[in-house]
């Protein structure tokens, strides 16, 4: 979050460059991995450092957390204003990197859909991922300023409410991943705290804003 605050001006002024780099990294990663579920052993060490948080979803999750919390923080604060100024840009970057994490899972799921146990952890994760992508697409597309300008303010605002469903799906995805598949309970607790604190802050902000309206 500190990085997003300190580099908000650079990101806003050079957003297209950041998008281009993000697309390049994501496409390169997917091609290099050949849509496999594991990291190639031949990958150079420097690329492994980038590839691991990308393929595991840690990078996109970190960006989405910043986007989430931005909407839950006090709008009067300077740091919130800086984050709000690049919230759309961060959302787009998060969506781009989210594909690097999710596309291989989706491809693997559809390749084995006739053999896979639909109640297995992998199937549940894949279904949650597909639903998240479906909801993410309109949010992603309308985050681009040239497209957003063509949409009525009320319509765009209502569309953004889908983000809460996407956040829930991402949390469920993480929960199944760490509870039922990898059994990494410490990470499940960590993400539960992150999403839980966000929920409390967002509900608190909603209540305060409603009181002011009255």
Structural domain boundaries enclosing 131: 2-213
Q: How many domains are there within the chain?
A: 1
Which region among 9-13, 37-41, 155-159 has the lowest average model confidence (pLDDT)?
37-41
Cβ atoms of residues 8 and 78 within 8 Å: no
Residue 179 carries which DSSP code?
Answer: I
**pLDDT > 90? residue 46:** no
Token pair 């150079």 is at which residue?
44
Token pair 């705290």 is at which residue?
193
Q: Residue 126 is inside which H or E element, if any?
A: helix 121-141
Instruction: Look at the alpha carbons of 10, 14, 15, 21 in this order and tell me if their dihedral is positive or negative.
Output: negative
pLDDT digits (tens, 9 = 90+) for 49-90: 777 788 888 899 999 999 999 999 998 899 899 999 999 999
Distances (CA, A) of 104 to 16, 56, 150: 26, 11, 33
pLDDT digits (tens, 9 = 90+) for 147-201: 999 999 889 989 999 999 999 999 999 999 999 988 999 999 999 999 999 999 9
pLDDT digits (tens, 9 = 90+) for 174-184: 999 999 988 99
Given this model, what pLDDT does residue 115 score? Answer: 78
Cβ atoms of residues 98 and 131 within 8 Å: no
pLDDT digits (tens, 9 = 90+) for 81-138: 999 999 999 999 999 999 988 888 888 888 888 777 777 888 899 999 999 999 999 9
Distances (CA, A) of 131 to 37, 90, 136: 20, 21, 8
């Amino acid at each position: 979050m500190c990085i997003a605050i300190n580099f908000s001006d650079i990101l806003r002024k050079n957003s297209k460059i950041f998008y281009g780099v993000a697309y390049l990294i994501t496409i390169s990663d997917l091609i290099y991995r050949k849509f496999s579920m594991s990291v190639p052993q031949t990958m150079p060490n420097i690329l492994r450092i980038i590839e691991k948080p990308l393929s595991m979803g840690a990078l996109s999750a970190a960006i989405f957390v910043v986007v989430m919390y931005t909407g839950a923080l006090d709008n009067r604060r300077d740091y919130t204003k800086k984050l709000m100024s690049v919230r759309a840009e961060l959302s787009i970057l998060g969506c781009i990197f989210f594909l690097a994490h999710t596309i291989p899972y989706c491809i693997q799921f559809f390749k084995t859909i006739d053999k896979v146990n639909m109640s297995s952890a992998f199937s549940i994760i894949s279904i949650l991922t597909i639903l998240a992508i479906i909801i993410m697409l309109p949010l992603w597309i309308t985050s681009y300023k040239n497209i957003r300008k063509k949409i009525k303010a009320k319509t765009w605002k209502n569309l953004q409410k889908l983000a809460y469903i996407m956040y829930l799906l991402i949390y469920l995805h993480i929960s199944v991943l760490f509870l039922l598949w990898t059994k990494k309970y410490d990470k499940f607790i960590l993400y539960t705290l992150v999403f839980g604190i966000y929920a409390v802050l967002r509900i608190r902000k909603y209540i305060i804003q409603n009181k002011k309206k009255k």
